[in-house]
Structure 1
């Protein structure tokens, strides 16, 4: 079962997006209790501590290879670990979890743009159509089934922080193909370690400014959750999914985050399930299905973004 799961891209991506949706909801709940940069720092430091023991046997072989590609490792660690997560947590201090979840659905489109700008890759008609259909589903949930309500949505300062982080993370997804040809776990552990070091000066600056962790054991338990499932586990699963089907198709799975986030809000925050959730969920699922259709031979498509 484990082998089947590891070779099934969409099961991997579904699990990763579920953990990430939970992370966004939880991070919003921690706003005011845990400073954003501290949350990002301890998340990745904890993830590094948890995972380094599992990766150690392979690291002894893979570390020299990554040292030989140190510039690319710095870039991937900055874009995929340090910048994106820190900016998202800063944004969550002044916007809602729902807004952040909805903004995540712009990621597949941004990935397609980055892939074209950097590698002149064009999406298939199915990928482009899938993005549009999934965005329509997200819009149905965001606007509660009303075009008037959707039109009244606006971007707050926190939303801009999150959008900036998504632009950087989409770049990470596209350049992930350039990562050193090492074991996925080895790459992830080293990237987490480098990203943690990058965030350390900013965390110390935040601490010097008077920011402290409040909330007692609950806050520390929440940080522990972010260190394991949305970090170590989810990134390992997502990187494997990108390896199997490419950045553009894997990025389409991020439309699942607002879907899962809505369900989590219904279960844990007792929000009401409405008919527009049904239409939104159906459209998101249809869009992902369209984006999964492979191009016919000879048609332009986005190439597999990893070399392993």
Structure 2
């Protein structure tokens, strides 16, 4: 019994470390904007991950080729939404907004997932989800407006935030598609095939926009993006889901704005202001409320992965 308790306490470090890695990647994304184009780092990121995984996954993919073929279209769609549209737009957003704002907007994934679930799965949100979502949206607009809502009338200054919001919305679609389809493809094979599709999707953009070379200024950032947020963090997250469950694991995503702001403050010298504090608190309270279930929902809702 004691061993089981210790194992569970140890497991709580897994999602925290995963969120820290993803938060660090947001700061890396913001740092490297002057050294490599968005399309280039996006392509290199998945290329590194693909090269690392290939020796371990190629034979397994061949052995499971019938399952992969049966889910070919779904894997292609998941890759488009989760690895290209979300990640790619994030890199473009980093040119127009701060890492701190990107971290705050990323925390909106659970809220946006509620609305996408309503659209695709016909799931009617409960009163907590509606009130919490509205509260979080108010907090986000407060942060974007820097405490002055009249400034929202000028879109130019908020282009990066808007792009990041669109990116997060695409990731919400990714999560809902995963839930809707419930693919029987082994997890790592699914990730590997999605990465392969992501590389293919990048080809037209590379032909059109070109590809920056990897050099001493951007090399470490590319390596970090390809290894830690692409492979290590998802693995830690999946392990956390197995140990402590998807619901408790998902709560740790709310730490992303905090981790990102701390990293951006000390590394990128981004200021943490009063409006970040006020808006951030409102957003986190709203997200927490949006994930609260009514008593009936808790009884009927099956346990699903994040």
TM-score if structure 1 supplies the norm length? 0.77
Specify the SS of the correspondent of 1:152.
helix
Specify the SS of the correspondent of 1:167.
helix
For residue 65 of structure 1, report the CA deviation from its aligned partner. Answer: 1.1
Answer whether contact 1:111 1:174 (CA < 8 A) is retained.
yes
Identify if the C-alpha distance between structure 1 residues 267 and 236 changes in structure 2 by more than 3 Å, giving closer, same or farther. Answer: same
* Aligned ranges 1:178-257 → 2 under 5 Å: 178-207=181-210, 212-213=212-213, 216-238=215-237, 244-245=245-246, 250=250, 254-257=253-256
Answer whether contact 2:98 2:270 (CA < 8 A) is retained.
no
Identify if the C-alpha distance between structure 1 residues 296 and 174 changes in structure 2 by more than 3 Å, giving closer, same or farther. Answer: same
Deviations 1:2-58 (A, max 9, x none): 9748976xx554333322222222112211311111110110111122233444575
* RMSD after superposition: 3.8
Gaps of 5+ in 1: none
Answer whether contact 2:110 2:287 (CA < 8 A) is retained.
no
Taking the aligned partners of 2:297 and 2:272, their CA distance within structure 1 comes to 44
Taking the aligned partners of 2:281 and 2:232, their CA distance within structure 1 comes to 27
More displaced 10-residue stretch of structure 1: 297-306 or 113-122: 297-306
**Matching residue of 2:177:** 175
Identify if the C-alpha distance between structure 1 residues 60 and 199 changes in structure 2 by more than 3 Å, giving closer, same or farther. Answer: same
TM-score if structure 2 supplies the norm length? 0.77
Aligned residues: 296
**Matching residue of 1:68:** 70
Taking the aligned partners of 2:66 and 2:134, their CA distance within structure 1 comes to 43
Taking the aligned partners of 1:254 and 1:135, their CA distance within structure 2 comes to 17
For residue 280 of structure 1, report the CA deviation from its aligned partner. Answer: 6.0
Identify if the C-alpha distance between structure 1 residues 274 and 285 changes in structure 2 by more than 3 Å, giving closer, same or farther. Answer: same
For residue 213 of structure 1, report the CA deviation from its aligned partner. Answer: 3.7
Specify the SS of the correspondent of 1:31.
helix
* Aligned ranges 1:254-265 → 2 under 5 Å: 254-265=253-264
Deviations 1:252-295 (A, max 9, x none): 65443322211112222345666766666665665565456554
Answer whether contact 1:179 1:306 (CA < 8 A) is retained.
no
